[in-house]
Amino acid sequence: MDTKLVFQDVANVATPMLAVLAVDIAIGKEADPLIALLTTSDAVTNAAAAVIASNEFKGGLGEHVLLHSPNGLKAERLLIVGLGKAKTLSVDEVRKGAGAAVRATKPRGVLQMAIAFPEDHALSDEHLENLPCTLLSRALIEGALIAEPDWDVYKSDRKDRSIETLTIIAPEGEESTKKEIQVGFEEGRIVGDAQNFTRSLVNEPGNVLTPTELGRRAAAMCEEMGLNCEVHSTAKLEELKMGAFAAVAKGSAQPPALVVMTYEPKLEKGKTPAKDAPVIGLVGKGITFDTGGISLKSADGMDKMKYDMAGAAAMIGTMRAVAQLKPNVKVIGIVCSAENMPSGSAYKPGDVFTAMSGKTIEVMNTDAEGRMVLADGLHYAKTLGCTHLINAATLTGACVVALGMINAGVFSNDDKTYEKFSRALRISGEKFWRLPCTDDYKDQIKSQIADIMNTGGTRWGGAISAAMFLKEFAEDTPWVHLDIAGLAWNDEVKPWHPKGPSGVAVRSILEWVRSYSA
Ligand code: BES
Ligand code: ZN
Ligand code: ZN
C-alpha cells in the first residue's frame, strides 16, 4: 500500500473512498449517542447530515456507515467511522479507527482511498482534549498500515484485493502544525511497516521458517536497512559455551540460529562516543516450532506453536524501524532460534546443563525451553556490552491464564527502567501489565542438585517462575521482560484487524529504545 500525505480541502479530493472519523459526544451512560464528525469541512458535515440525523449510526469504535455519491463532495463514497465516546478518546482509538476504515474498504474492491486527518479542534474543549498532532498523524498511518494485510499468502484462491494507495488529507494550516503532521506521518510509515514485517515472519509455518530461514530473513532485512548482521549456528554456540541454548536445539534435525544485529548511531564529526553511553540489548525467543520436546504438548492447538518465535520476530521488526528512525543510541538485537523437538538426541527432564554464565540448570520440563535459550541470549548481550536489556517471548501459558488476551505481561528488576517502558506504552497504545519478580519468589526455582531449575516445581505463579529464571541471567543489568504469549496471535477478528499474527511489542520496544537516545 502506497501512502501519501496532502494538505488540501477534503471536499475537493477526487477519490473512490473518503473516510472521516466520528465520535459520540453524548455525556452520561444512558444518553442517546450524539455524533460529531472530526472535521471542520462544512461540505462533509452537510453530506453526512441525513444519515447522522437518522440515528442509525451510533459512533461505536470501529462501527461504520457508507454513503455513495455524497452531495457536494468530489469523493465517490463517504465512509464514516466511529471512534467511540469523545470523553475517552486517545490516539489508540484513532489508530483503530483508521484500521477499521481500511478493513471496511478492502472487501469492496476499492483500490484507492483517503482518510481525513481527525481535526479534534472541530469539537469544543468540553468534549475533547486536544491530542498531539504528531502522535495523531502517526497513529493514523500505523493503524491503516497494520489493518491492510490479510495473511492469505498461502491461499491459492487469494483475492489479492490490496489497497494500492492511501492518502491522508490534512487541512491547510500553520506551517508548524503541517510539519508536526508530516513528522508523525513519516514515523508512522516506518513503524507500521516494521510491525507488518514482524507479523509476516510470525505468520510463516514452521516447515518454511526454520531457525536457518529466520536467520536468513533477518540478514536480508539488515542488508536492506544497512545494519550489521551475523548469523551463527551450532559451532558458535559451542564456542561460546551456550549450554542452555544448545540443549534445546539438540532434539531437532534443524540447526539453531544465533542472530546478532547491530545498529550504531552516526557520530557527529570529530566526536567520540561518550564512555557511559547506554547500549541497548534486545533479546528475542525464536522457537520456530515448540512441540514441548520430550515433555510433549498435547495435540490440541499444537499447530499454533509456530508462533513461538514471535519475540524474536518483534526484535527483528524493531531493528528494522531503528535502522530507519536512527536514534542516537547503540542497539544490539539478538535472536536465539531453535526448534523444540522430541527425538533420540533431545534433552530430557532431569538433565543438567551449564549456561554461558556458568550457572547450572536442572531441566524439569523440556517444554520450558524459551527461558533456556533466552538465558544464554541475555548473558551474551551483556558480554557484547549491553547496559540495558529487554527480552520478548511467548514464554508461558500461565501469563495468559493470569492476564487473558488483553494485557501482555511485563516484569523488571529495576523501577526506573520499568518507568521508561511504561511511558513508551503511552505512545505505542499497547497494553502490558506489570507482574512481580522480587526475590521473595526466588525459592520457586531452587533446584535440589543444580543452581536453578527451569520450572517452578508447581503450577502456581508460572509466569513469575519464568521471569525469576531469566532474572538470574540479567543479574544486575537493568532489564525488562515481556511475556507476549497471550497477545502475539489474534484469535479474534476485530474491525481493525483480521485473525493472525499481531506484531505486538514492536511499537513499545521501539519507543523504549528511543527513550535512551542522547
Ligand atoms: N511456548 C510455550 C508458551 C505458551 C503456552 C504460549 C501456551 C502460548 C500458549 C512455552 O514454551 C511453554 O510451553 N511453557 C510452559 C512452561 C511450563 C512447562 C513450566 C507452559 O506455559 O505451559
Ligand atoms: Zn514450550
Ligand atoms: Zn515455547
Q: C-alpha angle with apex 156: 155 to 160, nearest 5 degrees?
A: 75
Ligand 1 pocket, 485 CB below 6 A?
Answer: yes
Q: What distance in angstroms lies between residue 62's CA and the mean position of ligand 3's atoms?
A: 33
Q: Which residues contact 37 (CB under 8 A, 6 or more apart)?
A: 20, 21, 22, 44, 45, 48, 52, 80, 122
Residues known to be catalytic = 297, 371
Q: What distance in angstroms lies between residue 405's CA and the mean position of ligand 1's atoms?
A: 15
pLDDT tens-digit series, residues 492-511: 999 999 999 999 999 999 99
Cβ count within 10 A of residue 208: 11
Residue 128: pLDDT band with limits 50, 70, 90 = low
Q: What distance in angstroms lies between residue 146's CA and the mean position of ligand 1's atoms?
A: 27
Q: Quick one: pLDDT at residue 222? A: 99
Query: Alpha carbon of 94 to those of 38, 139, 505: distances in Å?
Result: 11, 6, 19
Q: How far is CA 231 from the centre of its chain?
A: 23
Cβ count within 10 A of residue 33: 17
Inter-residue contact 360 to 353 (CB < 8 Å): yes
Pairing of strands 388-393, 479-483: parallel
pLDDT tens-digit series, residues 434-478: 999 999 999 999 999 999 999 998 999 999 999 999 999 999 999
Task: Indicate the top mutation candidate among 303, 367, 464, 490 to test ligand 1's pocket, ranked by most ligand atoms within 8 A of CB.
Answer: 367
Q: For residue 396, which ligand has an atom nearest its CA?
A: 1
Ligand 1 pocket, 119 CB below 6 A?
Answer: no
Q: How far apart are CA 6 and CA 28, in angstroms?
A: 37
Residue 169: pLDDT band with limits 50, 70, 90 = very high
**Out of 3-12, 148-157, 278-287, 308-317, least confident range:** 148-157
Inter-residue contact 306 to 274 (CB < 8 Å): no
Helices (H) and strands (E) in the chain, counts: 13, 20
Average pLDDT (202-230) is 98
pTM over 0.85: yes
Cβ density class 392-419: b for 16+ within 10 Å, e for less: bbbbbebbbebbeeebbbbbbbeeebbe
Residue 226: pLDDT band with limits 50, 70, 90 = very high
Q: Is the pLDDT of residue 126 over 70?
A: no
Ligand 1 pocket, 308 CB below 6 A?
Answer: yes
Q: Is the pLDDT of residue 193 over 90?
A: yes
Q: Which residues contact 374 (CB under 8 A, 6 or more apart)?
A: 283, 285, 336, 391, 393, 470, 473
Ligand 1 pocket, 243 CB below 6 A?
Answer: no
- The closest residue, in CA terms, to atom 22 on ligand 1 is 397
Q: Is the pLDDT of residue 58 over 70?
A: yes
Nine-digit cell string for 504: 505486538
Which of 454, 443, 441, 406 minimizes the C-alpha distance to 292?
454
Q: Is the pLDDT of residue 29 over 90?
A: no
pLDDT tens-digit series, residues 366-415: 999 999 999 999 999 999 999 999 999 999 999 999 999 999 999 999 99
Closest ligand 1 atom number to CA of residue 465? 19
Q: What distance in angstroms lies between residue 397's CA and the mean position of ligand 1's atoms?
A: 5
Closest ligand 1 atom number to CA of residue 454? 19
Closest ligand 1 atom number to CA of residue 399? 21
Pairing of strands 330-340, 279-290: parallel
Q: For residue 468, which ligand has an atom nearest its CA?
A: 1
Ligand 1 pocket, 256 CB below 6 A?
Answer: no
- Residue 175: Cβ-neighbour burial (10 angstroms; 0-12, 13-18, 19+): exposed
Q: How far apart are CA 83 and CA 63, in angstroms?
A: 8
Q: Is the pLDDT of residue 129 over 80?
A: no
